[in-house]
């Protein structure tokens, strides 16, 4: 292999010296600053051997077997260090070199950086982006109610929009707003600005180097665009060429048809003085000078857009008299014709107008295509790629040993005696622990990505390779039982592997990438449903947080889409965020919370009724011995998880059984002399235990308890949740009037059931209220209600009636009287309840 240290110029042919070539020296390799290069590792190893061996070795020269072993180990470690330092992209890449970023919660910039529309400017950008017929828009807000004024695109040539088309645009604006609506906000009014036509009048001199019809069309088109709207829309590809900061490109809502600049959206910038038109037309290709330019109405009288109360749009002249108002010619100052090229030559004038119309139609078509075609924002940033991932098996350092050691692939010579073979096996056994550790390290490097993978599992965070004859020459001869060694290695590895804790820390790292923290120390105090699997519950919560990260981050103040039913797929960013932070299982309930009892055929009865019907045992010194219910094995737990709750007959439970029945310590077993087992429900601090069932076998009793506990747990999980009511949506719709009542603006009500195991705990309610106060938008005041089952059922009746009326109002216009009646019923229910008096600042 040609590997010169210096490249030099070679002499030319024909006796002439070759042209001088600059010499380039290869930089000498520097020592590893971390001390993980071969020389540093060897030096450290020799020093350690000297400290440990003392005077046992006379020297440390190369002929010493101990030094040979050390050097081979250092050589193997340097290769592992190299594998550890491969780029992150290579570690995450699959067999094709592609990185499945979604599987590692690595969201693309165009997905994670944009936010939901928050300000009036954001809403204006969203509506301009989605509806190409909008030319300009003004949005104002008062107490969360938005007034939207629209100016539609008026065609220069052709028929204006019909009344039905305008009504369709208004309906589209309403639907788009409802899809982007934030909490405590709603539409008050949507209005169209009816414009008046105006025309150009003036004199423009051309260079004569461009067709007159093209200049004529360009003047009208650009003047019309500037007069109607000052909005600047730019292609993402063009913007990325000049702007490299992705946080600037993706600030605010993501507009799918191009980047909309904020300049020109403010109401004070809607005036369009004539000097802007003069400067704009002067920059058109082929225009030499603008002598005079103004806007006139249909009678030729000057108008001042932005300085009177009317809204104007530019119209292409139809009559010959209107065509005379704008003179465009190569030399308009010297022609005898005061109308320039237009007057006096009718045939040529008609041809010019026809050519101009065709050019204008092309310009308007291109503009509408630009406004309608979706821009590809994903081309701005391409996810990194890595080298294809290859599964590497461990390659033993014993292959590098000299043949005299007898441990490489050649082995011991056949002529060697038994003692020599045993010595070789002893050396292999001596090297085995170090090689097993290095093989495990190689596997750790290759499998480390699983810690951050969405479906990477939580069963292991340390990984190992089993060493066999294919990896280490003739190794299996030293194993007592080669068939069991792999399982033994994995068992030893697992005994030192805090897999759940390390997986949780890996997910914390991913959360930190997005500036999020999900500490569950406080939440774990209320782990009533996953006592046997607390670590898995923590990981599940973090995975849910990362899965919904875009919605609960960029749309954390978003409200529910009122066009959907109450059981829609998108309950809103704040609702989802609170549900995850509070450990609520069902983030998007499909039925009322109280329906969990009918779903599992559970009947809630009063304790006094059960006292009269049930069989009890006194928990005193006279009671027979009671035993705790044992935990399930891993295999039994898997079977229980797969078991679907199906009650053949209704199950009667008291409120205390709902609250305490999720705890396995609440159940006790009593066995009689014949082997029959009786199951008792023994709540804490109660003098008696309720008999649940008698079983012939202990295994049957244990299985029944765990299934009974699962039923109660499922009822609790499906019954936990909350309802979020925005007071602004309860305002009267008929007649519309300013909000004089402070009940409506900037107020939220959150209704929770208080009968479940966690929600009945005052400490958890305090934790939930503090979480709500921390996560709720600062301008909204939340009021929190904890209600019993009967009150919740009444609330669900009035709430669902109101939501159905509100959905009809938002989608079909609805009945304002019916909506107001339903809103008043819901308001009266809220006013009759007593909210939590906790105040968090």
Average the pLDDT over 178-207 and give the result. Answer: 89
| CA gap 793, 777 in Å, rounded | 29
Region 304-320: what's the mean pLDDT?
77
What's the confidence (pLDDT) of residue 689? 87
In the 8-state DSSP scheme, what is residue 737? -
d(C-alpha 567, C-alpha 81), whole Å: 54
Helix axes 534-547, 499-513, angle to 10 degrees: 20
654: helix, strand or coil: coil
**What are the beta bridge partners of residue 199?**
296
* Burial tier of 127 (Cβ tally within 10 Å: 0-12, 13-18, 19+): buried
pLDDT of 393-440, one tens digit each?
899 999 999 888 999 999 898 888 899 999 999 999 999 999 999 999
What per-residue confidence (pLDDT) applies to 330? 66
Please say if the pLDDT value at position 4 is more than 90.
no
This prediction's pTM: 0.84
- Mean pLDDT calculated for residue range 320-340: 65
Measured between alpha carbons, how far is residue 216 from residues 196, 222, 313, 344, 741 in Å? 22, 10, 17, 18, 58
Specify the pLDDT at position 168: 92
Q: Enumerate residues 6+ apart whose C-beta is below 8 A from 841.
A: none
- Per-residue pLDDT at 514 exceeds 90: yes
Please say if the pLDDT value at position 53 is more than 90: no
781 forms beta bridges with 747
Q: Is the pLDDT of residue 474 over 50?
A: yes
List, for residues 772-808, the tens digit of each pLDDT value. Answer: 999 999 999 999 999 999 999 999 999 999 999 999 9
Is the distance from CB of 136 to CB of 229 less than 8 angstroms?
yes
Only one residue has tokens 């993402």, namely 236
pLDDT digits (tens, 9 = 90+) for 234-264: 888 788 778 778 888 888 898 888 888 887 7
**Are the CB atoms for 558 and 182 separated by under 8 Å?**
yes
Average pLDDT of span 816-825: 94
pLDDT digits (tens, 9 = 90+) for 709-724: 999 999 999 999 999 9
Domain definitions of the chain by residue range: 120-378, 397-497, 596-719, 722-832
For 306: left if phi > 0, alpha if psi spans -120 to 50, otherwise beta; the answer is left
Per-residue model confidence as pLDDT tens digits over 64-95:
788 889 999 999 999 999 988 889 999 999 88
Task: Sheet with 667-671: list strands edge to edge.
Answer: 616-618, 688-695, 677-681, 667-671, 627-628
Stretch among 42-46, 170-174, 297-301 having the lowest mean pLDDT: 297-301
User: Phi/psi of residue 359, each to 5°?
Assistant: -65, -40
Q: Tell me the pLDDT band of 16, cut-offs 50, 70 and 90.
A: very low
Higher local confidence (pLDDT), 342 or 97: 97
SS3 296: strand
DSSP character string of 300-336? S-B--TTTSS-EEEE----SHHHHTTEEEESSTTT-S
Q: What is the pLDDT of residue 198?
A: 87
Q: What does the DSSP assignment read for 608-628?
A: HHHHHHS-EEE-STTSPP-EE
How confident is residue 297, by pLDDT bands cut at 50, 70 and 90? confident
Q: Provide, rounded to the nearest whole percent, the portion of the chain with pLDDT above 90.
A: 40
The pLDDT of residue 9 is 33
Residue 342 has pLDDT above 60, yes or no: no
- What integer best gives the mean pLDDT of the chain? 85
Give the residue ranges of DSSP H helices in 448-548: 482-495, 499-513, 534-547
Residue 417 to residues 356, 404, 412, 420, 475, Cα–Cα distance (Å): 105, 14, 9, 5, 19
Instruction: Give me the mean pLDDT over the 799-826 stretch.
Output: 92
Rg for the chain, CA atoms, rounded: 40
SS3 694: strand
Residue-level pLDDT at 657: 92
């Amino acid at each position: 292999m040609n590997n010169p240290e210096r490249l030099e110029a070679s002499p030319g042919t024909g006796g002439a010296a070759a042209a001088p070539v600059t010499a380039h020296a290869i930089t000498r390799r520097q020592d590893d600053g971390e001390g993980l290069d071969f020389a540093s590792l060897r030096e450290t190893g020799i020093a350690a051997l000297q400290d440990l061996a003392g005077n046992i070795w006379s020297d440390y020269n190369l002929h010493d077997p101990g030094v040979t072993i050390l050097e081979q180990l250092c050589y193997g470690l340097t290769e592992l260090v190299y594998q550890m330092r491969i780029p992150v992209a290579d570690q995450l890449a699959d067999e094709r070199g592609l990185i499945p970023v979604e599987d590692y919660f690595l969201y693309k910039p165009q997905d994670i950086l944009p936010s939901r529309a928050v300000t009036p400017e954001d809403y204006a950008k969203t509506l301009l982006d989605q509806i190409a017929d909008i030319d300009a828009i003004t949005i104002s807000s008062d107490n969360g109610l938005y007034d939207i004024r629209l100016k539609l695109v008026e065609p220069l040539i052709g028929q204006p929009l019909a009344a039905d088309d305008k009504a369709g645009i208004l309906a589209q604006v309403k639907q788009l707003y409802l899809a982007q609506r934030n909490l405590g906000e709603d539409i008050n009014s949507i209005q169209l600005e009816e414009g008046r036509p105006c025309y150009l009048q003036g004199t423009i001199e051309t260079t004569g180097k461009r067709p007159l019809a093209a200049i004529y069309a360009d003047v009208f088109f650009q003047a019309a665009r500037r007069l109607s709207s000052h909005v600047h829309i730019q292609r993402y590809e063009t913007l990325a060429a000049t702007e490299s900061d992705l946080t600037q490109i993706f600030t605010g809502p993501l507009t799918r048809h191009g980047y909309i600049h904020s300049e020109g959206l403010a109401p004070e910038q809607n005036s369009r003085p004539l000097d802007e038109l003069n400067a704009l037309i002067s920059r058109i290709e082929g225009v030499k000078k603008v002598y005079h330019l103004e806007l006139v109405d249909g009678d030729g009288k000057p108008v001042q857009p932005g300085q009177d109360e009317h809204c104007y749009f530019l119209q292409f002249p139809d009559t010959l008299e209107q065509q005379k108002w704008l003179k465009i010619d190569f030399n308009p100052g010297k022609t005898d014709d005061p109308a320039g090229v237009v007057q006096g030559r009718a045939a040529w004038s008609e041809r010019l107008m026809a050519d101009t119309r065709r050019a204008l139609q092309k310009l308007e078509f291109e503009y509408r295509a630009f406004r309608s075609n979706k821009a590809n924002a994903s081309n701005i940033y391409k996810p990194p790629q890595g080298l294809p991932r290859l599964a590497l098996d461990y390659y033993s350092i014993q292959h590098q040993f000299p043949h005299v050691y007898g441990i490489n692939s050649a082995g011991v010579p056949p002529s060697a005696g038994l003692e020599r073979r045993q010595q070789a096996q002893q050396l292999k056994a001596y090297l085995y622990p170090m090689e097993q550790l290095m093989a495990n390290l190689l596997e750790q490097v290759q499998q480390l990505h699983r810690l951050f993978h969405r479906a990477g599992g939580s069963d292991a965070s340390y990984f190992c390779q089993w060493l066999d004859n294919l990896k280490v020459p003739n190794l299996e001869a030293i194993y007592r039982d080669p068939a069991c060694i792999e399982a033994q290695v994995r068992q030893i590895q697992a005994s030192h592997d805090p897999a759940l804790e390390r997986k949780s820390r890996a997910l914390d790292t991913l959360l930190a990438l997005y500036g999020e923290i999900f500490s569950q120390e406080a939440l774990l105090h209320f782990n009533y449903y996953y006592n046997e699997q607390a670590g898995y519950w923590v990981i599940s919560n973090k995975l849910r947080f990362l899965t919904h990260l875009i919605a609960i981050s960029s749309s954390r103040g978003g409200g529910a889409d009122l066009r959907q039913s109450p059981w829609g797929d998108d309950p809103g960013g704040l609702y989802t965020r609170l549900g995850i932070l509070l450990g609520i299982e069902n983030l998007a309930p499909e039925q009322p919370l109280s329906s969990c009892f009918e779903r599992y055929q559970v009947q809630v009865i009063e304790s006094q009724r059960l006292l009269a019907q049930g069989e009890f045992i006194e928990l005193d010194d006279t009671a027979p011995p009671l035993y705790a219910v044992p935990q399930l094995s891993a295999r039994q737990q898997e079977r229980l998880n797969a078991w679907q709750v199906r009650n053949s007959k209704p199950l009667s439970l008291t409120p205390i059984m709902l609250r305490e029945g999720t705890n396995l310590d609440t159940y006790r077993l009593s066995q009689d002399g014949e082997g029959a087992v009786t199951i008792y429900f023994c709540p804490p601090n109660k003098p008696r235990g309720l008999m649940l069932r008698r079983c012939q076998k202990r295994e049957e009793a244990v299985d029944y308890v765990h299934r009974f506990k699962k039923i109660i747990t499922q009822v609790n999980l499906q019954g936990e949740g909350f309802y979020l009511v925005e007071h602004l949506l309860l305002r009267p719709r008929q007649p519309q009037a300013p909000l004089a009542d402070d009940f409506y603006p900037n107020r939220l009500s959150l209704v929770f059931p208080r009968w479940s195991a966690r929600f009945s705990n005052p400490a958890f309610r305090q934790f939930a209220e503090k979480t709500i106060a921390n996560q709720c938008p600062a301008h909204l005041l939340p009021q929190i209600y904890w209600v019993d089952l009967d009150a919740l059922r009444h609330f669900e009746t009035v709430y669902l009636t109101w939501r159905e009326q509100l959905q009809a109002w938002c989608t079909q216009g609805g009945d304002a009287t019916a909506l107001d009646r339903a809103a008043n019923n819901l308001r009266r229910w809220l006013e009759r309840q007593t909210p939590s008096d906790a105040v968090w600042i």
